Structures are given as C-alpha cells and as structure tokens.
Amino acid sequence: MPERPEHPAALLTLSGVRKSFGAVQALVDGRLELRAGEVHALVGENGAGKSTLVKVLAGVHAPDEGFVALDGEPLHFAGPADARAAGIAVIYQEPTLFPDLSVAENIFMGRQPLRGLRRIDAAAMRRRTSELFARLGVRMDPDRPARGLSIADQQLVEIAKALSFDARVLVMDEPTAALSGVEVERLFAVVRSLREAGAAVLFISHRFDEVFALCQRVTVMRDGRWVSTDPTGDLTVGQVVRRMVGREVSQLYPKQETEAGDVVLEVRDLTRLGVFDAVSFDVRAGEIVALAGLVGAGRSEVVRAVFGVDRYDSGEVFVGRKRLPRGRPAVAMAAGVALVPEDRRQQGLVMELSIERNATLTRRWSLSRLGLLGPRVERLDAGRWLQRLRVKAGHLADPVSTLSGGNQQKVVLAKWLSTSPKVLIVDEPTRGIDVGTKAEVHRLMSQLAAEGVAVLMVSSELPEVLGMADRVLVMHEGRLVEEIARERADEESVMLAATGQGAGDAG
C-alpha cells in the first residue's frame, strides 16, 4: 500500500469568503482547507464567524464573494440539499429533531427506504439505524420517540443522521457539548475511524482538551477573519487563547477565595426511584459546590428535584432551615432559589419573545403596577441587568433567538439574578459558549459567591469543575459517591469516582 503523502492535497477549500447581513459583516475573510484523512479544528469566540462559515459550507448561505471548491472544482449550492449531494454533512450545535417521530424516522426523514408499491420499508429503516448506532458504539431503540430524549441522546441521533449520508466532509459543531466521559470517547473513536477511511472532518469545539486530543490542525478565527492555521503539535492552549481573545488561559477561571458562611441549602436523603438514591449534601453561603459525574449519573435530575421542577419519592430539601414542599418551583423561588437549566433554548428561554421580555420573566409581577407592566419599566430593568452581564445585543426588543449562544446564556442568568437569589443552581453554565464568554460567566459566579450567594453547579467540563469549585460532589449511577475538597481535587480523582472507582462514599 502506498504511503499517505505528508501534506495531501486539499479535499475542500474555502477562500476569500465574505458574507454580510444588512450592515453586519459576519464574514470578512473566511478561509479553510480540509484534507482527506484529517480532523481539522475551527476555533474562535462566539461572533468570530464560525457559524456563518459552516452555513456557507452547508449551502444555507450563499457567499457574497469568494468560493468553495471540492477536489479543486468550484461548488455553487442552491440550498442544503446540494451540499448534502456533494458529500458535505453538518451536525449543528442545537439538535433539530421532530419530537413526535421515532429516532429512525428522524434519521431518514425524506430518504426512507422503500419497498413494493413505494411503501416505506420500516424494517430496513430500523436495521440501518441500528447499524449506525453500532458504528457509534451506543445502543438506542430505533423506534423510540425523539420527544423526551436527553441532549446527549439528541446529539447522538444527529451524528447518526450525518453518518447516514456517507459524507466525504463531516462538519461537527460542538458535538460533545452535552457529552462527557464514555460518550465522548465513543464519538472520538467514530471520528478517528472516519479519518482513517479518508473523510475530512471539521471539528468545532470550545473544549481545548478535545481539540488537542483529536485534531491534526487548528484554524483560528476572530471578528469574521481568518487568523491562522497551524499543526496542533506546534501550538499550546495559551497560544490559541491569545489568538482568539487576546487574554491568557489562566484568566478563564477567576476564582475568588471566600470564607464559607452558614448552610443555606440542605438536601437530605433525596430519592427518586430508578433515577437517584439517598442523595445528601449542603451548600454554604459564599461557596461554589460542583456536582460532577458522567452523563446519566443523575446530576441534572437531582437539581431539578431540588428546585421542584421534578417530583421525588422521599427525602427533604431545606433553604435557610425552612423545608421546601415537593414539586413547587414557585415556593422554591419565593425562598430564594434560582435554577439556570441545562437546555437554555427549551427550558430557559422563550425563543419567540424579545430579549427584554425574557430577562424580566421572573419579576413581571413585582415590576408591574395594578397588574400592568409598562414597556419603559421593563426595558429599564432588563437593560440594567443585561448591561451588568455585558450582553451584546442590537436592540432589546429583538427576539432572543437572534443572540449568540453565549449571550442567550447571559439572558437566562440575568432573568434569575434579578431575583436576588440566596441559592443559585447552574446546570452546565458554559455549555456551547466561547472561551471569552466562559471567563465572564465564571467571573460572575465567583463574584456572586463573594457576595454570599450559595452556588450549586452541575458541569461536565473537568477544567471548569476544578477551576471554580470549593468542593466537588461526584455522582455515579444515581448515588453521591464521593466528596472532594478543592485542594485534593484533580482530574484523576474526579474521574475515578465518576466511573465508580473512587475511594469513598459521600452518600
């Protein structure tokens, strides 16, 4: 077998691409070169132009200037179908499944295998779906409805859908944002197999450990412009961060040292049959406590039960020594508890409403007079909080859906921080947002803790857990198995506990 050339010719090239939306220049100088048999990272802050570049590759946007070429031949897409026909498949950051259809129907929507008198061959569709999941190394029922799937499972369905096209170019936009541990390793194995088969993979991620573990080259973008493309081995995380945002990596976790105060949140023997069992912990004023563990360990389910969104079978929750009733979020809010959920689009925001309306949803009654809330009062209140959180928005009356993912997360935070909570629960606070916005969210969390707020954080990102938490509570298969103090916490100790290999049992 002939040896693979050290620098193979580009499979796909994007050069000099410009794209404007009205007066906004989303891409000023978009450049990219993807080689067959390569995983290529694309990094940059939100607003750097990555999403627009991906949509040009996907045929969603036609470039104003520049060109896209495959095997040296220029491509002109009339729409996404043309891009798919050319062998380009895209997995977007936010899943777009039809909730009332099965997993198999979502994967083969519009391309269902047929038999006989053009009838859908359901058996063949299920079989092909099972084969796709086998390639991913996961088990999922092809007949399972998409409604109710976790974000991790939704992402796996999107990945299977992209693989079903047998694409030569696969674009992955934050595919691991809701995955951790075993799920990420399974995905990496699939990506490596695609690379070995000669595919070109464009991997977009804000997680530098993934970029350096998986990718051969890295392209950095800033403000709609190409900045650099280099082999991963020639770079450090610090160099990549400086090229992206002009700040050092040490500034990503601005943790203030605070003295923990009295216990604010107490959770005692919280149990939901089949989900989590006998979970007990407390969080003190001025403390950031992290709930760590693999996806499926029960972390999100515990905090949702604490807030009252989900009911539980037994156990107790106290805030300031006052017992909270089960399944009563309004009572939890009145007691000073706030919950920033994992899925900001589905659970944290009303995407059709304006930015200012979303920011005031939790306080509309207290801001109103005689049951009426004037637009001026709403705008002033929203503006004050959005300015504090440095939200970048055109007009507060614009739909919140027009904001980047990082700015949407800040709106969710503004909505809850305006209630002056005693306990702030944040579930994956920086999922899918850029490194610069992460630093701002971390700064805000640390500042709130310094002001005496008790912060309970669920995170799948170990650097975030280790960088921000005063204590780490590790869950495994629905049980709290270990508590690790900040000075003892490292990646090895947390992962050992998360996989059931820890030394102790905190429950």
Over residues 195-212, the pLDDT tens digits come to 887 889 999 987 888 899
- Do 439 and 485 reside in the same domain of the chain? yes
- Do 76 and 191 reside in the same domain of the chain? yes
Three-state SS string over 171-219 comes to EEECCCCCCCCHHHHHHHHHHHHHHHCCCEEEEECCCHHHHHHHCCEEE
Note the pLDDT tens digit of each residue in 388-412: 777 877 788 888 888 877 788 888 8
Residue 315: the pLDDT is 97
Q: Domain of residue 221: give its range.
A: 10-97+149-246
Residues 6+ apart with CB under 8 A from 4: 37
Q: How many domains does the chain have?
A: 2
Across all residues in the chain, what is the average pLDDT?
86
The answer to whether position 141 is within a domain reads no
The answer to whether position 199 is within a domain reads yes
> Is residue 503 a contact partner of residue 478, using CB atoms and an 8 Å limit?
no
Q: How confident is the model at residue 374 (pLDDT cuts 50, 70, 90)?
A: low
The tokens for 451 are 């002001």
- Do 222 and 324 reside in the same domain of the chain? no
Note the pLDDT tens digit of each residue in 111-167: 888 887 778 999 999 999 999 888 777 789 999 999 988 777 887 888 788 888 878
Q: How confident is the model at residue 482 (pLDDT cuts 50, 70, 90)?
A: very high
Residue 506: the pLDDT is 47
Apex 243 CA angle, 220 and 256, nearest 5: 120
- Do 236 and 266 reside in the same domain of the chain? no
- Do 236 and 313 reside in the same domain of the chain? no
The tokens for 130 are 């099972």
The more confidently predicted of residues 54 and 364 is: 54
Would the pLDDT of 9 be above 60? yes
- Do 241 and 254 reside in the same domain of the chain? no
Beta-bridge partners for 410: none
The more confidently predicted of residues 490 and 101 is: 101
Residue 247: the pLDDT is 58
DSSP 103: H
Residue 4: the pLDDT is 40
- Do 215 and 289 reside in the same domain of the chain? no
Would the pLDDT of 3 be above 50? no
Residue 110 is inside which H or E element, if any? none
The more confidently predicted of residues 307 and 248 is: 307
- Do 170 and 314 reside in the same domain of the chain? no
Note the pLDDT tens digit of each residue in 29-85: 999 999 999 999 999 876 688 889 999 999 999 999 998 999 989 988 999 989 988
CATH number of 235's domain: 3.40.50.300
Q: How confident is the model at residue 1 (pLDDT cuts 50, 70, 90)?
A: very low
The answer to whether position 435 is within a domain reads yes
Q: Cα–Cα distance between 252 and 443 in angstroms, integer?
A: 8
Would the pLDDT of 301 be above 80? yes
> Is residue 217 a contact partner of residue 231, using CB atoms and an 8 Å limit?
yes
Residue 92: the pLDDT is 74
The answer to whether position 381 is within a domain reads no
46-60, 85-99, 373-387, 478-492: which range is least confident on average? Answer: 373-387
- Do 175 and 295 reside in the same domain of the chain? no
- Residue after which a domain boundary falls, among 246, 273, 294: 246
Q: Cα–Cα distance between 14 and 348 in angstroms, integer?
A: 36
The answer to whether position 325 is within a domain reads yes
196 burial via Cβ count (<10 Å: 0-12, 13-18, 19+)? exposed
Residue whose token pair is 């203030």: 256
The more confidently predicted of residues 434 and 446 is: 446
Residue 378: the pLDDT is 73
The answer to whether position 122 is within a domain reads no
Q: Cα–Cα distance between 110 and 90 in angstroms, integer?
A: 16
Would the pLDDT of 103 be above 60? yes
The tokens for 245 are 């945002």
> Is residue 320 a contact partner of residue 334, using CB atoms and an 8 Å limit?
no
Would the pLDDT of 293 be above 70? yes
Would the pLDDT of 93 be above 90? no
- Residue after which a domain boundary falls, among 246, 267, 298: 246
The more confidently predicted of residues 176 and 325 is: 325
- Do 187 and 229 reside in the same domain of the chain? yes
Q: How confident is the model at residue 15 (pLDDT cuts 50, 70, 90)?
A: very high
Residue 486: the pLDDT is 93
- Do 71 and 195 reside in the same domain of the chain? yes
Q: Cα–Cα distance between 282 and 269 in angstroms, integer?
A: 11
Q: How many CA atoms lie within 13 A of 348 on its CB side?
A: 28
The answer to whether position 118 is within a domain reads no
Q: What percent of the chain has pLDDT over 70?
A: 91
The answer to whether position 344 is within a domain reads no
- Residue after which a domain boundary falls, among 246, 273, 305: 246
Average pLDDT, integer, range 101-114: 91
- Do 446 and 488 reside in the same domain of the chain? yes
pTM of model > 0.85:
no
